Amino acid sequence: MTTPTKPSHLRTPGDVIAALPYLLGFHPADSLVLLVLEGGSIAQTLRLDLPATRNDRRVADELALSLRGRPHTHAVAVVVGGGRGDPPELLPREHLVEELTASLGYVGVRVTCAAWSPATAKGSPWLSYHDLGDQGVVPDPATTTIAARAVAQGLVTHRDRETLAATLTPDPPEALSRRSALLDKAAAEAEIGETEDSATMVRHRTLVKAEVARARSRTNPLTDQEVADLAYALSDPWVRDASLADAISDHAEAAERLWIELTRASPTPERAEPAALLAFSAYIRGDGALALMAMDRAEEAMPGHRLTVLLRTALENGMPPSTVKGLAERAAAADWIPKPDPDPPLATPHPDTPDPPTP
């Protein structure tokens, strides 16, 4: 999926195919990609592995179900890979495109363009499913307007999905073990000192905000102690939820870099919190591939993690990033400073308690 993007510079199917690596975050292979257009913008970009042929109709129906009830929507479908094109008689996965066109049409979404290409690389041939005479070659993906915008935003396009997944590979076990010991120590000290009060919660949130700001220019990796301090701070649901607001702050890119680093560097189960924050940030930014991978890391670290389950449900039901972004907006507007308890009432003397002596 992708945040709303004007498709005005995508004039041909070749332009669309060249833009896919920057809309997805990686170069897709053997994939069905569906661009959902609303109000003149690309509202979502959905990608899935090409299904077995016997599942074409089921997959088409599931995609259509996720777009039901969205008026004034149309779509562009692209098949990448799946076999060799052999015009004019046959293109790979024609049956899948036919089923998709029918299922989307049933819910009121018109497929205005459907094209095939063996790859998204420069010079790859493309052909239209609607008109085999409509064909061309893919331009250099790096020269597209969407590519320029991605570079300006500091976004990285990976060679393939596996390379993207490798960016979230956990640190070596010995490093995770050291940090786990530091987290155990912090938890033990908190239990002894009963430090889980509102002042501690505010201090933890302040620590996270400071590290987000520092991530903009920091070049050295976090130390073991810094990882442990941040992971312990984010283990408080109040601090984690308040940190959702970082995804729409002036430091949003730095926050995402910090969540990626902490997802690699934190031991379990604490890894679930930065991974969920990364999933949220990627979701509202439109990077569905990274969001799903971060959700997987969060649920591996803490099965049933509540925020992750909510995000996955939203993604699987086709909820647009703009809707999910409302969570960050509410987090930013909320008064997150916990209020101290009011002074307790004076204790009422027990009836059997003698009156104090008169001086």
Q: What is the pLDDT of residues 128-160, one digit of tens each?
A: 998 878 899 998 877 766 655 654 455 555 566
The pLDDT of residue 170 is above 50: yes
Give the Cα separation of 42 and 335 in Å (integer).
34
The pLDDT of residue 27 is above 90: no
The pLDDT of residue 349 is above 50: no
Which residue reads 């994939």 in tokens? 31
> Which phi and psi (to 5°) does residue 342 adopt?
-65, 160
Rounded to 10 degrees, the C-alpha dihedral 129/134/137/139 comes to: -100
Positive or negative torsion for Cα 40, 46, 47, 48 = negative
Over range 63-76, report the average pLDDT.
85
Over range 170-195, report the average pLDDT.
87
| 8 Å CB contact between 152 and 22 | no
Contacts of residue 89, Cβ cutoff 8 Å, sequence gap at least 6: none
Give the Cα separation of 323 and 28 in Å (integer).
26
The pLDDT of residue 351 is above 50: no
Among candidate residues 261, 284, 19, 291, the one with its CA nearest the CA of residue 140: 19
Give the Cα separation of 201 and 235 in Å (integer).
11
Q: What is the chain's alpha carbon radius of gyration, rounded to the nearest angstrom?
A: 25
Over range 262-270, report the average pLDDT.
96
* The pTM of the whole model exceeds 0.75: no
Token pair of 57 as six digits: 């109709």
Across 48-64, b (16+ Cβ under 10 Å) vs e yields eebbeeeebbebbbebb
C-alpha separations of 134 from 92, 93, 129, 139, 256 in Å: 16, 17, 9, 16, 41
Give the Cα separation of 174 and 168 in Å (integer).
17
| Residues paired with residue 33 on neighbouring β-strands, in sequence order | 47, 78
Over range 113-127, report the average pLDDT.
93
C-alpha separations of 80 from 36, 48, 77 in Å: 17, 11, 10
Over range 9-24, report the average pLDDT.
84
> Which phi and psi (to 5°) does residue 89 adopt?
-80, -35
pLDDT for residue 120:
92
